[in-house]
């Protein structure tokens, strides 16, 4: 037969064609990254992640392998690729993906990273592991949205070429979840952590106790969960985390470079504890469990020694399973505690927290007491005096102004979930403010960062959580991370709108605000 080419010639040609496939021109500056990176230079080409792409690590960098595996696990369902991870000491000569720590990049800090993408290589480097992990989230957003799918997709998996150098503006970027008013199980909390991590947030504040429920096992006071954890708002069955459950949450968060900050709200918001142990009550009698939504009616007996034994036991057990440096002691809305008793209580609790090797956070109401310099005050309501008092004492502020940062505020008057005591909070209002100008007299050097609380009086399921949190959380992530001079709602809303398919592929039950130009 008179064939033009024999089989081996065809194969050689095919290999040449595949390896010479011209990269699709792509414009990195047109990608819709959230949070917006610090600096970005586009080079007009693209890197094609194929089934043959490998990830190279440099030998002996502990922890990098786990991040590479997170990335390969993440892309596996949609791409079907089993990306090979290899260690090499010739990193710079390899085609493909390289992931490594670089001790010369200390200027990037703990969470900054550098990404350099050409048609042949994708290089992610950082000073610390957290930086690599944040950079992986950028890689994630540079891939097509259907990378988020759990089902096999066709690709191609091209990333626009260029260079990104990126560091966070604020070190504290968090979200709170109230698991006391309604309880959420470990799987729900993991989902919440995944959503935070996708947008480079680094703090999960768990509001573990309140009038309606005590949600963390304390071995020396077992009735707290046995009785105090047995119900929730509306009278449902409630629930609690064993210490092993909590440790599992902490571990899962750590893998995503998210720090868990546990809150035990005191001396008010304590009905569940008071119902569980009569001796914590001033009159020595236990109240009934409470399943309504009023606030400000309960208080620990601040002049009984047993109260401080209780606080010490709780803080000690919690500190032992909390690797993060902070314990949150609540301190809000203690309307049933006399002011002088409240001050004495906060002073003593601050000492207890320190004696157990941790630093204290409290809602800014705690600034009535004498705050240590390493205590953080979380600003939440419109009484700015609380935050200004804390700053006067050299304490730093976590910004959570209810009118702007409360994920449990309704978007508008027909929103089926949430409250509106601090006003309605549409997605534009939630984004269009700055941390350093929201309270007069408090500037950047006084602020550690931002936190968006989600109180759960009206929130019962993970779908409910997602509806209130998305898309506002994405904006909070940007407010904490990015520092771009041209920040504006009009620019941001377009970028946000382009995350529609991504949200859908991630299975997020988001609020499709009419103010956002959503685009497939």
Eight-class DSSP state of 216: B
Closest C-alpha to 139, from 154, 152, 126: 126
At how many degrees (to 10) do helices 186-198 and 462-469 cross? 20
Closest C-alpha to 123, from 115, 113, 111: 115
Contact 63, 129 (CB under 8 A): yes
Tell me whether residue 128 or residue 350 sits nearer to ligand TNX (CB atom). 350
Number of Cβ within 10 Å of residue 176's Cβ equals 25
Options 111, 158, 217, 333, the catalytic residue: 333
Site string for ligand TNX, 443-482 (x = CB under 6 A): ------------x-x-------------------------
Closest C-alpha to 177, from 222, 120, 215: 215
Helix, strand or coil for residue 202?
coil
Contact 361, 375 (CB under 8 A): yes
According to CB under 6 A, which one of 47, 363, 470, 476 is a site residue for ligand TNX?
A: 363
Tell me whether residue 77 or residue 296 sits nearer to ligand TNX (CB atom). 296
Tokens matching residue 312: 């010490």
Tell me whether residue 312 or residue 426 sits nearer to ligand TNX (CB atom). 426
In residues, how long is the chain?
Answer: 520
Tell me whether residue 275 or residue 468 sits nearer to ligand TNX (CB atom). 468
According to CB under 6 A, which one of 111, 125, 148, 408 is a site residue for ligand TNX?
A: 408
Total number of residues that touch ligand TNX (CB under 6 A): 10
Tell me the C-alpha distance between 422 and 419, whole Å: 8
According to CB under 6 A, which one of 111, 332, 460, 466 is a site residue for ligand TNX?
A: 332
Q: Shortest distance, CB of residue 418 to ligand TNX, whole angstroms? A: 8
Q: Shortest distance, CB of residue 222 to ligand TNX, whole angstroms? A: 26
Residues 367-386 that bind ligand TNX (CB under 6 A): 380
Tell me whether residue 101 or residue 405 sits nearer to ligand TNX (CB atom). 405
Q: Shortest distance, CB of residue 205 to ligand TNX, whole angstroms? A: 11
Tell me the C-alpha distance between 424 and 261, whole Å: 28
Q: Shortest distance, CB of residue 18 to ligand TNX, whole angstroms? A: 57
Tell me the C-alpha distance between 175 and 199, whole Å: 11
Residue with tokens 């700053």: 391
Is residue 333 a contact residue for ligand TNX (CB under 6 A)?
A: yes
Tokens matching residue 452: 């968006």
Q: Shortest distance, CB of residue 333 to ligand TNX, whole angstroms? A: 5
Closest C-alpha to 309, from 253, 254, 352: 352
Tell me the C-alpha distance between 484 and 495, whole Å: 14
Tell me the C-alpha distance between 500 and 127, whole Å: 32
Q: How many CA atoms lie within 13 A of 99 on its CB side?
A: 30
Which residues lie below 8 Å from residue 295, measured CB to CB, with a gap of 6+? 211, 268, 269, 333, 335
Residues 272-331 that bind ligand TNX (CB under 6 A): 295
Q: Shortest distance, CB of residue 121 to ligand TNX, whole angstroms? A: 48
Tell me whether residue 332 or residue 478 sits nearer to ligand TNX (CB atom). 332
Tell me whether residue 68 or residue 176 sits nearer to ligand TNX (CB atom). 176
Q: How far is CA 502 from CA 28, 498, 499, 509, in A?
A: 18, 8, 5, 12
Tell me the C-alpha distance between 482 and 210, whole Å: 34
Q: Is residue 333 annotated as part of the catalytic site, yes or no?
A: yes
Tell me whether residue 134 or residue 207 sits nearer to ligand TNX (CB atom). 207
490: left (phi over 0), alpha (psi -120 to 50) or beta: alpha
Q: Shortest distance, CB of residue 290 to ligand TNX, whole angstroms? A: 13
Tokens matching residue 357: 């090797």
Tell me whether residue 115 or residue 364 sits nearer to ligand TNX (CB atom). 364
Contact 361, 376 (CB under 8 A): yes
User: What residue ranges bind ligand TNX (CB under 6 A)?
Assistant: 295, 332-333, 363, 380, 406, 408, 419, 455, 457
Query: Which residues does the annotation mark as catalytic?
Result: 333
């Amino acid at each position: 037969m008179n064939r033009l080419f024999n089989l081996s010639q065809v194969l050689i040609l095919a290999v040449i064609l595949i390896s010479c496939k011209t990269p699709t021109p792509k414009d990195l500056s047109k990608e819709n990254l959230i949070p917006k990176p610090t600096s970005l230079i586009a080079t007009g080409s693209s890197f094609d992640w194929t089934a043959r792409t490998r990830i190279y690590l440099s030998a002996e960098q502990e922890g990098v392998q786990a991040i590479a595996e997170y990335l390969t696990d993440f892309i596996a369902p949609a791409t079907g690729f089993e990306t090979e991870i290899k260690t090499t000491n010739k990193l710079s000569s390899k085609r493909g993906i390289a992931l490594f720590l670089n001790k010369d990049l200390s200027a990037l800090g703990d969470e900054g990273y550098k990404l350099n993408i050409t048609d042949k290589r994708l290089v992610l480097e950082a000073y610390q592991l957290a930086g690599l992990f944040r950079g992986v989230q950028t890689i994630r957003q540079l891939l097509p949205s259907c990378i988020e799918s759990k089902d096999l997709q066709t690709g191609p998996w091209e990333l626009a070429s260029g260079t990104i150098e990126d560091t966070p503006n604020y070190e504290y970027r968090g979200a709170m979840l109230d698991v006391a008013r309604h309880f959420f199980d470990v799987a729900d909390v993991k989902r919440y952590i995944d959503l935070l991590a996708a947008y480079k947030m680094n703090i999960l504040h768990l509001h573990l106790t309140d009038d309606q429920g005590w949600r963390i096992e304390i071995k020396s006071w077992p009735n707290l969960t046995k009785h105090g954890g047995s119900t929730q708002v509306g009278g449902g069955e409630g629930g609690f985390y064993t210490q092993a459950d909590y440790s599992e949450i902490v571990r899962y968060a750590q893998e995503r470079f998210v720090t868990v900050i546990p809150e035990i709200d005191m001396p008010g918001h304590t009905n569940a504890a008071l119902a569980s142990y009569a001796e914590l009550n001033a009159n020595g009698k236990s109240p009934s469990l409470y399943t309504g939504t009023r606030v400000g009616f309960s208080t620990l007996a601040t002049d009984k020694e047993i109260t401080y034994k209780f606080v010490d036991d709780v803080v000690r057990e919690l500190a032992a399973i909390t690797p993060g440096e902070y314990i949150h002691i609540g301190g809000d809305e203690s309307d049933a505690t006399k002011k002088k008793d409240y001050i004495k209580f906060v002073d003593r609790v601050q000492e207890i927290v320190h004696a157990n090797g941790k630093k204290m956070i409290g809602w800014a109401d705690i600034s009535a007491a004498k705050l240590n310099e390493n205590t953080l005050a979380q600003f939440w309501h419109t009484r700015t005096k609380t935050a200004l008092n804390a700053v006067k004492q050299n304490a730093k502020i976590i910004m959570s102004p209810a009118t702007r940062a409360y994920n449990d505020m309704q978007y508008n008057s027909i929103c089926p979930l949430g409250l509106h005591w601090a006003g309605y909070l549409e997605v534009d209002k939630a984004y269009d403010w700055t941390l350093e100008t929201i309270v007069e007299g408090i500037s950047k050097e006084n602020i550690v960062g931002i936190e968006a609380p989600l109180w759960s009086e009206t929130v019962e399921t993970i779908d409910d959580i997602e509806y209130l949190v998305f898309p506002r959380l994405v904006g909070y992530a940007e407010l904490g991370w990015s520092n771009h001079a041209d920040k504006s709602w009009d620019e941001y809303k377009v970028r946000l709108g382009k995350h529609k398919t991504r949200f859908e592929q991630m299975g997020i039950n988001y609020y499709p605000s009419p103010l956002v130009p959503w685009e497939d």
